[in-house]
A and B are shown apart, each in its own frame.
Chain A
Amino acid sequence: MRLSRVEVSDFRKLTRVLVEDLAPGLNVIAGDNEAGKSTLLAAMRAALFERHRVTGQVIEEMLPYGRQVRPTVEMDFSLDGSDYRLLKAFGSRPEARLVGAGGTEWTGDEADDALSRILRFTRPGRGESKPDQHHGAFGMMWVSQGTAHQTPSLGAVREQVAGAIEREVGEVAGGEHGRAMLQLAAERQALFWDKLRRPRGEYRKAAEDLTGLREQRDMVRGRLRELEADVDRLGLIAARLEAYSAEDTLGQARVSASAAHEAVLALGTLQQLVATASDSAALAELGRRNTTRDQAARSGMIEAVRRSAAGLEQDRQAANEARGRLERLQSAGHVARNSDTKAVADEQAARQALAKLQAADKARRLREFVARGQQMLTAAEDLERSRLEATALLAAIKVDADAMARLETLAAAIAEAKSRLEAASVRLQLRPQFGGAAEVDGVILEAAEFVISRDTTVHLYGFGDIDVRPGGGVAGLEAAVKAAEAKLADALSALGQPDMGAARAAWEHFKAARHELPSLRQSLAALAPDGIERLRFDLAVGTAELDQLGDVGGAEAVDALEVAKRRAADCAEVAAQARAALEQANKQAHGAEAELAVATDREANAQRIDEQARAALAEARLATSDAQLQEFEVVAATAFEQATLALEAARTQLRGAEPDLVQLRHDKAVKALDATMANIEQLKRSQIQLEASLQAHGREGLGEQLAFVEGEIAERDARLERLLVEARAAVLLSETLVQAQRETKERWLRPIHERAAPYLSLLRPGSEVALDEDTLELNAVRRDNIVEPFAGLSLGAREQIAVITRLALADILADGGQSACLVLDDPLVNADRHRLERMHLVLHKAAERHQIVILTCRERDFLSMGAHMVRI
C-alpha cells in the first residue's frame, strides 16, 4: 500500500488538513505539538477501518467538541498496482465511497466491505474496532504515539505472517498440539524419573521390589544350602552307622575288652599268690623275731636277778649304818634333857623369889596410890559442888543478856518519858522568905524546887493557894511515864526482880557464875579426867587390891629386887641354852630316825624286787627252759628263710606274666569299647537332632518358597525390563520432542531473523531478535549467545528494536504478497543522536521497499534524514 493524499476535515480538532504528494518511500509529516498529528492518524484509521455509519461513542470521539459537523476523510492510495480514492464521512450524513482501478466505485456499506476485502481486515460485530484485532497488518504497522517501544502485537495478522513463513520455510510449527505432546511427554517422563533423573514411582518400586525379592531368594537359597548340608550330614551319619553295624565294630570291641578282662583276671591270681607268699614270709619273719626277742628276754631276767641281789646287799648295809647313828644320837639326847631339867628348876626358884619381891613392891605403890587418890577425890568433890552451885545459880537467875537489855531499854524509856514530862512540867522554885512554907498535896514544902506536872494546888502559907496548871499535854506525858514504868514493873516481875537494882545485881551474879563455871570444869577434869565416880572406883579397886595382898612386907630393898631379877634372868638364860641343846639333840635324833626309815624301806624294796626277779625267772624257766628257748630260735630262723625263698619265686612268676602290659591292653580295650559306644551314641544323637531340625525346616517349605520367589523374580525381572525400556523411552521421547521443537523453531523463525538482520546490523551488529514461534511476539534480543529479555532493555532500545521487528515483519508480509505502508507517530523520541542517526539509516533502507510515514513534532530530528517533508 502506498498513500499519496490524505485530506481531513472536521475530525476532532482538525478543521481541515491536507497532506498530499506523499513520496513512495520515506515521508515526514511534521507539526507542532497539538497540531493534530495523532488526530490525523486517527482519521486515517477511521476512514479505512470504521464503518461509515458507525454511531455512538465512536462517532462522538470523531466530532470536535461542541460542534455538530460532518467528519470527513479523503484518501488516495494505491494497493497491489491499483489506485484507490476513498471518501468517508461520518456523523449526521454518513457517506462512503471508494473508487478503484478502472473507475470501479463502491459506495455505502459496499465501500466499507470492499475496503475490508482489499485491505484484509475484519471489523468487530459492533463498537469501535481495535487496531491489533481488527486492522489486519495495519494494526501492527501503524503505530500510535507513545507505543512504539512496545513489542509489536500481531493479533489478527499473526496468521498472515505465519502463512507467509510456512510458505517460505515449507513446514509448520508444532503449535498447540505440539505443546500438548511436549507436556504429555514431560509428564510421562516424570512418572519414571525425578528432576535429578533418579528412578521414581512404579519404575523405582519395581527395581526395589526386585532387589528385595533377590535378597529374599538369596536368603532362602542360603537356608536351603544349609538344609542340604544337613541332609548330607545325615546321610554321612547314616552311612557310618550302617558301616558300624555291617562291620560289627561294637561287637569286636566288646570281644577285645572281654579278652583283656580275662587276662587281667589271670594276672590277679598270680598277684594273689605273691600276696600269700608275702604274708607267709611276714609271718615267718615275725616268728623269727619273737624267738629272738624271747631269748633276749630270758637273758634280761637272769641279769635282773643278779642286779637285784647286789642291790639288796647294798641297801641292807646302809640300813645298819643308819641304825648305829640313831643310837648315838639318842644317847646324847638323854644328857641334854637332864641339863635342861636342872636349868628349869633353877629358873623356877629364881622366879618365885622374884615374885615375892615384886608383890611387896606393888603393895607399897598401892598404898601410895590410895593415899593420893583420896586427896584428889576430896578436892574433886569440892569442885563438883561449886560447879553444881554455879549451875544452879545460872538456872535460877532469869536475867540473862537479852532480858537485861530489854530491862535497860524500858528503864531508858521511863527516863525519856520523865525527861519529857519534866520539860513540860512547871518548875516551881520555892524560896520562901520569912520561913514560910508551902503545902502541896498535903506535903509541906519549904525552900525547894519542885516540879509540877499536873494541876496542882500549891498552898502557900501565908499566901494562900496557887493553882498551878501545866499546859501542853502534861497529862499525856505523865501517863506515858506511868505506862513505861508499868511495863518495867511487869518485866521485872516476870524476872522475879523487885527492881532495876536487884535486876542489875542478879545480872552481875549471872555473869560471874557463867565465867566461873568453865574453870571449875577444867579443874575437875584435871583431877578426875574420867569423872569422880571413876576416881572413886579406881580408889576402891586399889584399896581392894591392897587388902588382897595382905601383909607382904613391902619394906624390902629395891636392890634385893634387882638382884632377884638378875638371878632370875641368868637362870632363864641357862634354861634357854639347855632347852636349845635339847632341841638340837632331838632334831638330830629325828633326822637319824628318818634316814633309818628310808634305808629300811629301800632294803625292804630291794628285797621285794629281788624276790620278784627270782620268782619271774623261776616261772619262766618253769614254762620254757633256757635250752628250749635256744631250740625255738633255730627253728624260726629256718622257717623265715624258706618263706623268703617262696615269696621271691612267686614274684618272679608274676613279673614273667607282664602285669603292666596286661593292664595296658585291658585299659586300651575298655577305652576302645567306650569310645565306640560313645561314637555310636553321638552319631545316633546327631541323627535324631538333624532329623528333628530337618523336620522343622521341612515344615517351612523352603523349596516352595525358593521356587515361588524365583518365579516372581523372573516375572518381575521381565516387568522391570519393560519398565526400563519404557523409562528410557519416556526420556528419549521427551528429549527428542524438545530437540525437534528447538530445531523447528529455529528453522521457522529464520525468515524473520533474516529480514531483521540487515536492519539490526545497522543498529546493533551481531544481534538477533528472538520471537515466540507461536505468537510471534518479540521476547528478547540475542547477541553473542547472550539473551536480553525485551522488557529488560532501555526505552530507547525497545523503540528501536520494535521498529526494526515491524520492518522485518512488513518485509515478510510484503514477500507474502501483502504490502502495507508504515505509519509511525513519533516513534524514536527516546533515541540518542547516534542511535537516531542509525535509525534514520534503518528507515531509509526499509523505505526502499515500503512507504514509511513518520508523524513528528521534532522536525529537526528528521531534517537530515532526507525524507519527503510535509508540514501541517
Chain B
Amino acid sequence: MSFRFLHTADWQAGKPFGNVPGDAGAALRRQRIDTIANLAKLATEQQVDAVLVAGDAFDSNEVEDRTINQVLAALSPFAGPWIFLPGNHDAALPHSVWSRLRRLSSSDTIIIADRPEPIELQHGSAVILPAPLRRRRESSDLTAWFDAAATRPGAIRVGLAHGSVANRLPAGSEAANTIAEDRAQSADLDYLALGDWHGTLQIADKTWYSGTPETDRHRDNQSGNVLVVEIDGHGAVPRVTAMPTGAYAWRRVEVGLIDGRAGGVSRALEGLEVDHQRAVVELTVTGIVSLAERHAVELELSAWRARLHHLVVDDAGLREEPTDDDLDAIGAGFVGHAVERLRAISQEPAHQDRDAARVALRMLFLDHMNAKGSQ
C-alpha cells in the first residue's frame, strides 16, 4: 500500500512583518493564512493521505488566539489528518501554542506530534516518527530515537523533524537542533520530512526540506513550495514533486549605475519576471551619478514604490558627483562654491559629514529644480 502525503513546514503563521509599514505589511500577514488555506485545497486536490507539517507552523508560542483560530479555519478544506510537529518557533513547552490549540479545537484529525512516539497511519501501514522540539534549542539530535523505533514489518517509515542537517546546509545557516545527515539511512526511513530551512531543498538521500509555502524574507533559496511525496512501499524510492504555493515574490535586485545613465533602476525592475503588485523587492543601488541623474533616480524610485507591493531601497552605495552641467544648472556665484565644498566633503571617506554632504547636494539640486520650476 502506497503512502501519499504533503510535506510542508515553516508556515510561521502570525509573523507580523512590522518592518513593512501600512497595508503592505497587513497584506503579507494575511497572506500567510490564505496560503495555508490554498495548501489545504491542494491537499484535497492531490488526494493525499496526510499533511505533515515539519515544525514552525506558528511564528511563536505567543501568537494571538485569533491567529490560532485563523489557522484552524484555514485547515478546513482538507479533512486531515494533519500532523503538526512543534519546531523551534513553536516548541512544545509546558505551555505552548499547541496546548492552546488543543483547547481551541477538538478535532481528532489534527495530530500534534509533541511526543517522540510513533504515529501509525493507514492502519499501521505507514508510521510517522516525530522528533518534536520541547525546547527552543536542543543540544542533542532528537531524531536519534528513530534508529531503534520498532514498527510493523513492511510499514512505511517517515521521519518528521525540525532543525539543521549537519554539514549539509549552506554556510551561515543556523546550526542549532542538528540532525544527523545519515538519519534516513540509519533509521531505515523511507523519507525524512524536514523543516527549518525556508527553501525547498533535498539535503540527503530521502531527506528533504519542503521550505516555507509563503516566502517571508529576501533569500534566494527557492521558497514558496510544498512537496507532494508518494512512497509505494517500505524501501521504495519516494517520488517528490514541488508545487508552487507562494503568492508574493520576494526579490533582491542590485543595480549598478556606473554608466551614469538614468533608467537603470527601471530596467532592472522591469526585468523581474513577477507580478509587480505582488513583489516585495529589496533594491540595492550603487554607482556614481550626477546630481541631475540622482534626481532622476529618486523620481524613478518614487514611481516604483507605487507599482510594487513593497520596495526597500539601499542607496548607501550610490554616490553623487556634481558635474559641470550640474554646476552650470545650479548656477555660479556662492551657490557654486557651496556645491564644490559639499562635494569635497562627500568625497572624504573619513569625514563625519560625508553622508550629510551627499544628501545636502541632493537637496540643493532639488531646491534648484524647484526654484527653477517656480520661475
Residues of A within 8 A of B (CB): 171-175, 177-178, 180-181, 184-185, 188, 224, 227, 230-232, 234-235, 237-238, 690-691, 694-695, 697-715, 725-726, 728-733, 736-737, 739-741, 743-745
Contacts and interface: CB of A to CB of B under 8 A. Distances in A.
A174 B67 contact: no
A632 B280 CA distance: 122
Given A704-B16, A711-B17, A172 B95 contact: no
Interface stretch (B168-176, B233-241, B286-294, B331-339): B331-339
Nearest to B364: A733
B62 A180 contact: no
Contacts of B332: 171-172
A180 to B, nearest CB: 5
B21 A174 contact: no
Contacts of A712: 18-19, 21
A730 B103 contact: no
B229 interface: no
A731 B359 CA distance: 11
Contact of B367 (A171, A184, A227, A703): A184
27 contacts: A172-B332, A175-B331, A181-B364, A181-B368, A185-B367, A695-B100, A695-B103, A698-B95, A698-B100, A701-B65, A704-B59, A708-B17, A710-B18, A711-B20, A712-B19, A715-B20, A725-B355, A725-B359, A728-B353, A728-B355, A728-B356, A729-B359, A729-B362, A732-B357, A737-B334, A737-B338, A741-B334
Contact of B18 (A174, A177, A227, A707): A707
B360 interface: yes
B247 interface: no
B207 interface: no
A707 B61 CA distance: 12
B323 interface: no
Contact of B95 (A180, A185, A231, A703): A231
Contact of A234 (B94, B103, B359): B94
Contacts of A729: 355-360, 362-363
Contact of A736 (B93, B95, B341): B341
Nearest to A238: B94
Given A181-B335, A238-B94, A694-B95, A730 B360 contact: yes
Contact of A726 (B21, B330, B334, B359): B359
Contact of B360 (A232, A706, A715, A736): A736
A569 to B, nearest CB: 140
A182 to B, nearest CB: 8
A701 B64 contact: yes
Contact of B94 (A235, A702, A740): A235
Q: Which among B331, B335, B363 has the greatest number of chain A C-beta atoms within 10 A? A: B335
Contact of A184 (B15, B67, B338, B371): B371
Contacts, number: 176
Contacts of A231: 61, 93-96
B342 interface: yes
A715 B18 contact: yes
A188 B359 contact: no
Contacts of A234: 93-95
Contacts of A744: 333-334, 337
A725 B358 CA distance: 9
Interface string B89-105: 00001111101100100
Nearest to A691: B95
B60 interface: yes
Given A181-B367, A707-B59, 12 more contacts: A174-B331, A178-B333, A231-B93, A698-B62, A699-B65, A703-B59, A707-B15, A711-B19, A725-B356, A732-B360, A733-B360, A739-B338
Given A174-B331, A695-B100, A701-B14, A733 B342 contact: yes
B64 A704 contact: yes
Given A177-B331, A733-B338, A733-B364, A701 B371 contact: no
Most buried by B among A173, A177, A230, A695: A177
A745 B338 CA distance: 13
Interface of B: 14-21, 25, 59-67, 93-97, 99-100, 103, 330-335, 337-338, 341-342, 345, 353, 355-360, 362-364, 367-368, 370-371
Given A691-B99, A737-B338, A744-B337, A180 B67 contact: no
A743 B337 contact: yes
A731 B357 CA distance: 10
B14 to A, nearest CB: 5
Nearest to B368: A181
Contacts of A714: 18-19
B62 A702 contact: yes
B13 to A, nearest CB: 10
Nearest to B362: A729
A711 B103 CA distance: 30
A701 B355 CA distance: 40
**Secondary structure dominating the interface of A:** helix
A249 B43 CA distance: 49
Contacts of B362: 729
Contact of A177 (B64, B337, B370, B371): B371
Nearest to A736: B338
B281 to A, nearest CB: 15
Contacts of A188: 363, 367
B63 A181 contact: no
Contacts of B353: 728, 732
Contact of B67 (A237, A704, A736): A704
A240 to B, nearest CB: 12
A711 B22 CA distance: 12
A698 B364 contact: no
B55 to A, nearest CB: 16
Contacts of B64: 699-701, 704
A177 B61 CA distance: 62
Contacts of A726: 359, 363
A704 to B, nearest CB: 5
B364 A173 contact: no
Contacts of A733: 338, 342, 360, 363-364
Nearest to A695: B100
A704 B341 contact: no
B308 to A, nearest CB: 16
Contacts of B99: 691
Given A708-B16, A715-B18, A733-B364, A701 B62 contact: yes
Nearest to B135: A235
A737 B25 CA distance: 41
A483 to B, nearest CB: 149
Contacts of A184: 367, 370-371
A384 B62 CA distance: 151
A230 B335 CA distance: 64
A750 to B, nearest CB: 14
B18 A711 contact: yes
B93 to A, nearest CB: 5
Given A231-B93, A715-B20, A173 B333 contact: yes
Contact of A740 (B65, B100, B341): B341
Contacts of A224: 62
A683 to B, nearest CB: 13
Nearest to A713: B18
A188 B99 CA distance: 56
Contacts of A173: 333-334
Contacts of A690: 95
A715 B337 contact: no
Nearest to B359: A729
A227 B97 CA distance: 13
A855 to B, nearest CB: 40
Contacts of A707: 14-16, 18, 59-60
Contacts of B357: 729, 732
A465 B185 CA distance: 218
B62 A703 contact: yes
A728 B61 CA distance: 43
B315 to A, nearest CB: 10
A175 B14 contact: no
Contacts of B19: 711-712, 714-715
